[in-house]
């Protein structure tokens, strides 16, 4: 489809507990980058599960929140604002009153439970899905979605009538007071009844890994991590949960405020949410569950892309290019340097100049795309600014060490080249430091070859001659200034690789 290089869309998730906003700017070569997020707890389900309908004050509050979120989206350049309403809107007797109030300011759709499950799975797993069969559980305010996915195929989708707000306010149990064993047992039995068919189907299909999402599971994982004395809240176990819940439900609302990892806004519904999590993990046979920060909003984002003609790029490439676009990079120069750097890397490996694998090749490519993004802040020190941005940009798909290595490659592509004992390499192993320096040198050569950002150098060809590396710049223009720049790299190149670098040039008469 024909469209400009970027598009901004606001996505609003009208949930039973909270309303979430995600504003995303889409670029032609990335899955988009979030430019704003917000959340407001409105508790659509609190009156719904107490009385059967949503009270007027909550409808008005929801309308105000959606109106404000829609305005923020448009102020950020969004041409379109999409709002999906889930469980509370599906079940309320007066849902038309809610939808009419919300539709004044946004395009609102009430989606069925299986569609909610599909979008959550898409948000958590991405369009390619997990390579191994994985179960995903999302505990919302009114419903709990269960998905089994493998290689992008949804083998099971279900939306169960259980949730943190539903059980906290719909079972006649005072969840602001300590919750007795008997009342907690009532919650567990309700989970059993509502999940009977799902449990049989899950056992029939099977799975090898388990994943969880939503605010409830994130909070439970943070509390479990605090109890075990570390900061790793990326998972929780059934054993930990069984130890945690008696402690949590023995306290009243105020007493729960001091529990590490639990926010005050969730203290009244955490016992109910914990009951759902504990019993489902037990029924499904899950001992360890990985926790995802993604969910419905991210699923809405990907679904928009898939239905509007965008190309879905890999996570790493997408996050790098989205960052580059946000920093207003020189795309043609970056792509030229990327091409040059990979040509040098591949030829140097064929000549035995290095032994780096394709992992470093990919990091070099990403560094080449991002090497000048610091110009947004300072041209003079753009290499330093580029490193700072890379290290603090929350790039998706990379490990901490990979982000560190990319930042260093970019830092060293300009100005003084580091020696092997440079203090900035102190946290790296000797082998890692060597690889980073070698990639930084390849990036320097690639950048020099497009010194004037005019793509005058059509190719770079490496060869060995008399124990030296000949770097031949192929061009139909006068390359002397690029050759002079290469001459300046010779001392550092010799120290790094132990051989001399010989700049050379070839005229390409085939280029018009």
Domain boundary among 91, 111, 131: 111
Q: Please report whether residue 491 resides in a domain.
A: yes
Q: What is the pLDDT of residue 308?
A: 74
- CA-to-CA distance for 381 and 383, rounded, in angstroms? 6
Q: Does residue 302 lie in a domain region?
A: no
Amino acid 352: pLDDT: 95
Task: From 246, 271, 297, give the residue that closes a domain.
Answer: 297
Residues 321 and 222 grouped into a single domain? no
Residue at 492 is within a domain: yes
Q: What is the pLDDT of residue 104?
A: 81
348 in a domain, yes or no? Answer: yes
b/e string for 150-172 if b means 16 or more Cβ within 10 A? beeebbbbbbbbbbbbbbbbbee
* Strand, coil or helix: 81: strand
Q: Does one domain contain both 96 and 124?
A: no
| 273 and 411 assigned to the same domain | no
DSSP string covering 8-57: EEEEEEE-SSEEEEEEEEEETTSS-EEEEEEEEE--HHHHHHHHSS--HH
Domain with residue 254: its CATH number is 3.30.420.150
> Quick one: pLDDT at residue 3?
44
308 located within any domain: no
456 and 494 in a single domain? The answer is yes
CA distance 400 to 403: 5
In 3D space, the residue among 141, 88, 81 whose CA is nearest the CA of residue 108 turns out to be 81
Q: Is residue 383 within 8 Å of residue 419, measured between CB atoms?
A: no
307 within some domain: no
pLDDT of residue 511: 41
Predicted local distance difference test score (pLDDT) of residue 95: 87
Segments of the chain scoring below 70 in pLDDT: 1-5, 28-31, 309-315, 396-397, 508-512
The answer to whether residues 218 and 345 belong to one domain is no
Chosen domain end from 86, 111, 136:
111
Q: Kindly state whether residues 345 and 468 are assigned to the same domain.
A: yes
The whole domain housing 106 covers: 6-111
DSSP code of residue 295: -
- How far apart are the C-alpha atoms of 212 and 221, rounded to whole Å? 10
Q: Beta 18-27 vs 6-14: how paired, if at all?
A: antiparallel
Residue the block writes with tokens 């020190």: 381
Are 290 and 395 found together in one domain? no
The closest alpha carbon to 136, from 157, 164, 161, belongs to 157
CATH number of the domain within which 394 lies: 1.10.3210.10
Q: What is the pLDDT of residues 72-109, one digit of tens each?
A: 999 999 988 989 999 998 999 898 999 989 988 788 88
- Whether residue 495 sits in one domain with residue 368: yes
Q: Cα(75)–Cα(72) distance, rounded to whole angstroms?
A: 5
CATH number of the domain that residue 102 is part of = 3.30.420.40
Number of domains into which the chain is organized: 3
For the four alpha carbons of 311, 316, 322 and 325, in that order, the dihedral sign comes to negative
Shared domain for 122 and 87, answered yes or no, is no
Q: How many other CB atoms are there within 10 angstroms of residue 88's CB atom?
A: 32
Query: Would you list the DSSP string of 136-168?
Result: EEEE-SS-EEEEEEETTEEEEEEEES--HHHHH
Whether 435 maps to a domain, the answer reads: yes
State residue 138's pLDDT score: 95
pLDDT confidence of residue 33: 80
- Whether 303 is covered by a domain: the verdict is no
| SS3 assignment, position 177 | coil
Q: Give residue 238's pLDDT.
A: 96
The string of DSSP letters for 422-485 reads -GGGTTS-HHHHHHHHHHHHHHHHHHHTTTTSS--EEEEEEEEETTEEEEEEEESS--HHHHHH
Please give the full DSSP string across 82-104, using - where no structure is assigned. Answer: EEEE-HHHHH-TTHHHHHHHHHT
Q: Where are the alpha helices (DSSP H) in 308-429?
A: 315-326, 331-350, 358-370, 382-391, 400-411
Same domain, 217 and 123: yes
Whether residue 405 sits in one domain with residue 325? yes
Same domain for 169 and 280: yes
């Amino acid at each position: 489809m024909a469209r400009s290089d970027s598009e901004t869309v606001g996505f609003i998730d009208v949930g039973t507990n909270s309303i979430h906003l995600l504003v995303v700017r889409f670029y032609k070569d990335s899955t988009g980058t979030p430019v704003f997020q917000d959340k407001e707890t409105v508790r659509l389900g609190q009156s719904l599960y107490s009385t059967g309908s949503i009270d007027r004050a909550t409808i008005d509050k929801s309308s105000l929140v959606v109106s404000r979120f829609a305005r923020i989206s448009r102020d950020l350049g969004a041409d379109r604002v999409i709002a999906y309403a889930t469980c509370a809107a599906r079940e309320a007797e007066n849902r038309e009153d809610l939808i009419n109030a919300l539709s004044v300011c946004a395009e609102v759709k009430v989606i069925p439970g299986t569609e909610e499950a599909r979008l959550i799975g898409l948000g958590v797993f991405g369009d390619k899905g997990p390579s191994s069969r994985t179960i995903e559980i999302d505990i919302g305010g009114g419903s709990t979605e269960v998905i089994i996915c493998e290689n992008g195929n949804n083998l099971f989708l279900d939306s169960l009538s259980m949730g943190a707000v539903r059980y906290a306010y719909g079972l006649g149990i005072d969840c602001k007071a300590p919750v007795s064993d008997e009342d907690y047992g009532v919650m567990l039995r309700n989970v059993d009844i509502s999940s009977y068919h799902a449990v049989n189907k899950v056992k029939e299909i099977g799975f090898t890994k388990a994943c969880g999402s939503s605010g409830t599971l994130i909070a439970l994982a943070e509390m479990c991590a605090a109890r075990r004395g570390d900061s790793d809240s990326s998972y929780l176990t059934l054993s930990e949960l069984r130890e945690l819940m008696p402690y949590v439900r023995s306290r009243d609302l105020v007493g729960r405020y001091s529990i590490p990892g639990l926010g005050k806004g969730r203290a009244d519904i955490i016992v109910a949410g914990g009951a759902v999590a504990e019993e489902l993990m037990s029924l499904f046979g899950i001992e360890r569950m990985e926790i995802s920060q993604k969910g419905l909003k991210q699923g809405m984002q990907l679904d928009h892309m898939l239905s509007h003609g965008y190309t879905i790029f890999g996570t790493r490439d997408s996050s790098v290019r989205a960052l580059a676009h946000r920093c207003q990079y020189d795309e043609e120069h970056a792509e030229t340097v990327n091409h040059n750097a990979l040509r040098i890397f591949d030829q140097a490996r064929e000549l035995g100049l290095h032994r780096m694998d394709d992992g470093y090749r990919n990091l070099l490519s990403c560094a080449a795309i991002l090497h000048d993004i610091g110009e947004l802040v300072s041209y003079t020190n753009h290499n330093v600014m580029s490193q700072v941005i890379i290290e603090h940009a929350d790039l998706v798909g990379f490990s901490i060490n990979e982000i560190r290595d990319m930042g260093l490659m970019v830092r060293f592509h300009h100005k003084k080249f580091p020696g092997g004992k440079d203090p900035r390499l102190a946290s790296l192993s000797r082998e890692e430091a060597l690889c980073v320096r070698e990639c930084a040198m390849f990036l320097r050569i690639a950048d020099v070859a497009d010194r004037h950002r005019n793509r005058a150098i059509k190719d770079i060809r490496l060869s060995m001659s008399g124990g030296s590396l000949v770097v031949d710049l192929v061009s139909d223009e006068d390359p002397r200034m690029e050759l002079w720049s290469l001459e300046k790299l010779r001392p550092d190149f010799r120290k790094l690789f132990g051989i001399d670098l010989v700049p050379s040039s070839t005229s390409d008469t085939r280029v018009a």
